[in-house]
Amino acid sequence: MTTEHPGGFHPSTRLYRFTILLFISLLVFGSYFAYDSIGALETTLMRELHLDRSTIGNLYTAYSVAAIAIVFFGGMLYDKLGPRRASLLFSCLIFLGAVMVAMARTKWMLFGGRLIFGAGSESLIVVQSAIISRWFKGKEMAMAFGIALTISRVGTLFSFNTEELIASYTHSFRTALWAAALLCLFSVLCNLVFNLMDKHGEKVLALPKPDAGDKIVLSDVKKFTSSYWFVVLLCVTFYSAIFPFTALATDMFHDKWGLPLVSASSGSFLSQVFFNFTHMFTTAPGITSIVIAASMIFAPFAGDLVDRIGRRASLMVVGSLILIPAHLLMGITHWNPIPMMVMLGAAFVLVPAAMWPSVPLVVDEKRVGTAFGLMTAIQNLGLGLFPFLNGKLRDLTGTYTATQVMFAGLGIAGLIFAFLLLRSDKRLGGVLEAGRAKEG
Q: What is the pLDDT of residues 236-273, one digit of tens each?
A: 999 999 999 998 899 899 999 999 988 767 677 888 88
User: Burial letters for 153-165: b for 16+ Cβ neighbours within 10 Å, e otherwise?
Assistant: bbbbbbbbbbbbb
Q: CA 401, 407, 412 angle in degrees (round to 5)?
A: 120
Report, as an integer, the average pLDDT of 194-222. Answer: 75
Last residue of a domain, one of 165, 182, 215: 215
Report which of 288, 264, 374 is spatially closest to residue 39, judged by C-alpha positions.
Answer: 288
DSSP letter (8 states) at residue 211: P
In a domain, 330, yes or no: yes
Q: Between 4 and 147, where is the model more confident?
A: 147
Amino acid at 304: D
130 & 37 share domain: yes
Q: What is the pLDDT of residue 183?
A: 97
Return d(Cα 314, Cα 433) in angstroms, integer.
Answer: 7
260 & 147 share domain: no
Q: Residue 200 above 60 pLDDT?
A: yes
| Residues composing the chain | 440
In a domain, 21, yes or no: yes
Q: Residue 19 above 70 pLDDT?
A: yes
Q: Which domain holds residue 76?
A: 11-215
Return d(Cα 184, Cα 320) in angstroms, integer.
Answer: 34
Report, as an integer, the average pLDDT of 35-63. Answer: 89
- Domains of the chain: total: 2
Q: What is the pLDDT of residue 297?
A: 78
Report which of 159, 157, 100, 149 is spatially closest to residue 129, judged by C-alpha positions.
Answer: 149
157 & 121 share domain: yes
Q: What is the pLDDT of residue 8?
A: 65
Nearby residues of 350 by Cβ (< 8 Å), 6 or more positions away: 302, 315, 316, 318, 319, 322
Q: What is the pLDDT of residue 205?
A: 79
The whole-chain average pLDDT of the chain stands at 85
Return d(Cα 185, Cα 356) in angstroms, integer.
Answer: 30
123 & 135 share domain: yes
Nearby residues of 295 by Cβ (< 8 Å), 6 or more positions away: 153, 345, 348, 349, 352
pLDDT band at 152 (very low <50, low <70, confident <90, very high): confident
In a domain, 5, yes or no: no
pLDDT band at 79 (very low <50, low <70, confident <90, very high): low
Return d(Cα 101, Cα 94) in angstroms, integer.
Answer: 11
Last residue of a domain, one of 215, 233, 267: 215
In a domain, 62, yes or no: yes
Contact 33, 153 (CB under 8 A): no
Return d(Cα 240, Cα 102) in angstroms, integer.
Answer: 27
Q: What is the pLDDT of residues 153-182, one digit of tens each?
A: 889 889 988 998 899 889 999 999 999 999
202 & 229 share domain: no
Report which of 169, 168, 154, 157 is spatially closest to residue 286, judged by C-alpha positions.
Answer: 157
Burial bucket for residue 184 (CB in 10 Å: 0-12, 13-18, 19+): buried
Nearby residues of 279 by Cβ (< 8 Å), 6 or more positions away: 263, 265, 286
| Count of CA atoms in the C-beta half-sphere (13 A) of 30 | 31
Q: What is the pLDDT of residue 100?
A: 96
In a domain, 4, yes or no: no
Estimate the share of the chain in helix, then strand, then coil, as percent rounded to the nearest 5. Answer: 80, 0, 20
Q: Determine which of 105-114, 119-128, 336-345 has the lowest per-residue pLDDT on average.
A: 119-128
128 & 245 share domain: no
347 & 421 share domain: yes
In a domain, 282, yes or no: yes
90 & 128 share domain: yes
22 & 152 share domain: yes
Q: Residue 376 above 60 pLDDT?
A: yes
113 & 167 share domain: yes
Q: What is the pLDDT of residue 262?
A: 83
Q: Residue 31 above 70 pLDDT?
A: yes
Contact 330, 400 (CB under 8 A): yes
Q: What is the pLDDT of residue 2?
A: 45
**% of the chain exceeding 70 in pLDDT:** 89
pTM value is 0.81
250 & 358 share domain: yes
Strands in 124-191 per DSSP E: none
Nearby residues of 107 by Cβ (< 8 Å), 6 or more positions away: 49, 51, 55
Return d(Cα 162, Cα 174) in angstroms, integer.
Answer: 13
Compute CA distances 72 → 65, 119, 167, 369, whole Å: 12, 11, 37, 12
Last residue of a domain, one of 161, 190, 215: 215
Q: What is the pLDDT of residue 75?
A: 61
At 387, which CATH number?
Answer: 1.20.1250.20
Q: Please tell me whether residue 105 adopts helix, strand or coil conformation.
A: coil
In a domain, 6, yes or no: no
Question: Distance from first CA to last CA of the chain, Å, rounded?
Answer: 40
In a domain, 2, yes or no: no
Compute CA distances 265 → 147, 223, 274, whole Å: 32, 58, 10
349 & 227 share domain: yes
According to DSSP H, which parts of 241-289 are helical? 243-256, 269-278, 284-288
pLDDT band at 142 (very low <50, low <70, confident <90, very high): low
